[in-house]
Amino acid sequence: MQFPRLATDLAAGLPAFNEVFELLEEEWTPEIPPVTISMSELGRVFVEKAGEAFSLQDVANIFLRVERILKHGTESEKDAVTTGFLEAVAAAIDRYPQRRWVLRQAGPGAREYLSAWDQFCGLSSKKIPPGDF
C-alpha cells in the first residue's frame, strides 16, 4: 500500500513506526489514508513508545524532522505536522504524562505550536509544567 510521503519521511529508519503503517493499511486498504490521520497515528505511537521503542536520540531526530518540515515544508505539510503529529503528541502526553520529557527535545517551531495548543486547550496549569515549554 502507498502511504503519504510526509508520513513515510517522518518515520524513515524507525522500525517502531511499522505497526502504525500495518494498522493504517488494515483499516484503509485499498484507499490511501489521509496524511493528517497518518501523522496523527505516528504522533500517538511516538509518545506511547517513547523511552521503550524510541531512544532519546530517536526522539531528538524525529523532532529535527518536524522542525525541517515546519521551516521548509509546504503549507499543507506544515498543517499535517501541526494538526496531525503535534496535536496527537499533545493528546498522548495528556494520557501518558510520564512521557512529557519528549517535549524537551522539541525544536522552537514545535515548542511554539505546542505551547499555543496547550493554552488553547487550557492544559498548562493542570498537566504540563512550564519548564517543558
Asked if pLDDT for residue 125 goes beyond 50, the answer is no
pLDDT digits (tens, 9 = 90+) for 71-111: 999 999 999 999 999 999 999 998 999 999 999 999 999 99
Determine contact, residues 43/92, Cβ cutoff 8 Å. Answer: yes
| Total tally of structural domains belonging to the chain | 1
Asked if pLDDT for residue 70 goes beyond 90, the answer is yes
pLDDT of residue 84: 97
Distance of CA 3 to the CA centre of its chain: 16
* Torsion angle of the four alpha carbons 90, 48, 57, 71, in this order, in degrees rounded to the nearest 10: -30
Question: Domain span at residue 54?
Answer: 5-132
Residue listed under C-alpha cell 500517538? 44
pLDDT digits (tens, 9 = 90+) for 20-60: 999 999 999 999 999 999 999 999 999 999 999 999 999 99
